[in-house]
Amino acid sequence: MDESAKTIFVQIPAYRDPELIPTLVDLVDQAGHPECLHVSVCWQHDEGETPDAFAAAGFTVTSSVSSGRLIHSLSRCGARVEVFDYAMGESRGCGWARAMAQRAFRGEDYTLQLDSHHRFVRYWDVRLIAMLEGLRSIRHPRPVLVAHPPAYEPGRPVPAECNDGYQIDFASYGGLGVVRTCSTPINAPPGRARPVRARFFSGGFAFADGRFVRDVPADPDHYFNTEEITLTIRAYTHGYDLFHPHRHVLWHHYGRKGMPKVWEDQSNALARGETALDGAQLGRRAVAAAEAALGMHGPPHPVAWLGKRRTLEEYERYAGLCFALRAATPEVFARIAPSEADMSLDKTDWEARLRPAPWVP
């Protein structure tokens, strides 16, 4: 197939985010082939946000109702954007919003999982496809690019190029995400030409074959923090290999100080008696389920979401982590890229290589 004709399904959850429209504009305008983009947005908004804002930003807007849901169909430069309209009170968290956005998948060649606050380099789509296809081989038939991209600040211009690369490193066990991670610059010589192996998935940036949406669909039961560790293991056990881009094609807005957050709105609404939805409870339930599935409090609890191509233990050997012992290999602490070097060790020799890791409640 002609590379220029390959389609990309872009999935975006957006919760009361003023950066959504600038993100959509930049996503389309910076693409090399905007006509090949199919964007799906789970738009969770308050009464002050209306579809008129999309039209004011230069999108052609047509609204319709399907299965009782209001959908705004946008177009710009040949790109097709479907905005699924949800009142803020309908939100059930990040995993749910991603699952709602994924309903629009129509078998596109690739999928790009994002948040709703990004900026892009020119020809980001062409570059991502080339980077992913450059990884495909007999050993890696199912590569996935994952990362925590570098930061931008709204209102400030971004450079023409983004030559930085960052990897997601292990920091400790514990917390609301089961595993705490940090982003560090990739330790690579200047001019590195290929991505590096990754231990962890990123909820805010992932690029893969389109079939990833069907193989590893978003889990609506993960309210927020447990999304990344469960996606990591689900992807790996379904046969996907994780890589960090050696240079990025987009930026991310972190922190978002003062911006509305779904958990804060729902907590306030619960306190006022306006909803029975308890986001904090949903988050705690997701953490408990993830810890049980990973065997952090006894034998791993059987779950349907593990893939059949690899096992949980194989992921631990690859990543250098042991959830049951809350330990890690020296390579993890040294931030050395993962490999299959420990796959052939027996259990005793493998455990002898492990070192206790920090636990942060």
pLDDT at residue number 270:
82
Query: Which residues are paired to 169 by β-bridges?
Result: 182
- Cα-based torsion angle of the residue sequence 314, 316, 320, 326 in order, rounded to the nearest 10 degrees: -160
pLDDT at residue number 1:
44
pLDDT at residue number 277:
76
List the CATH code of the domain at 3-252: 3.90.550.10
Dihedrals φ, ψ of 145, to 5°? -95, 125
Q: In 193-249, at which residue ranges do the beta strands (DSSP E only) sit? A: 196-197, 205-209, 241-244
- Give pLDDT tens digits along the chain (361 positions): 455 689 999 999 999 999 999 999 999 999 999 999 999 999 999 999 999 999 999 999 999 999 999 999 999 999 999 999 999 989 888 999 999 999 999 999 999 999 999 999 999 999 999 999 999 988 899 999 999 999 999 999 999 998 888 899 999 999 888 999 999 988 655 556 789 999 999 999 999 999 999 999 999 988 778 899 999 999 999 999 999 998 899 999 998 887 888 878 878 888 888 887 787 888 888 899 999 999 999 999 999 999 999 999 999 999 999 999 999 999 999 999 998 888 889 999 999 999 999 998 8
Tell the residue number behind the tokens 């069907």, with chain if given: 214
Distance in angstroms (rounded) separating the CA atoms of residues 93 and 221: 8
Dihedrals φ, ψ of 171, to 5°? -115, -45
Boundaries of every domain in the chain? 3-252
pLDDT at residue number 224:
77
Residues in the chain: 361
pLDDT at residue number 187:
64
Distance in angstroms (rounded) separating the CA atoms of residues 233 and 311: 9
pLDDT at residue number 272:
87
- Diameter of the chain by CA atoms? 64
Distance in angstroms (rounded) separating the CA atoms of residues 165 and 167: 7
Q: What angle do CA 244, 320, 222 make, to 5 degrees?
A: 65
pLDDT at residue number 191:
54
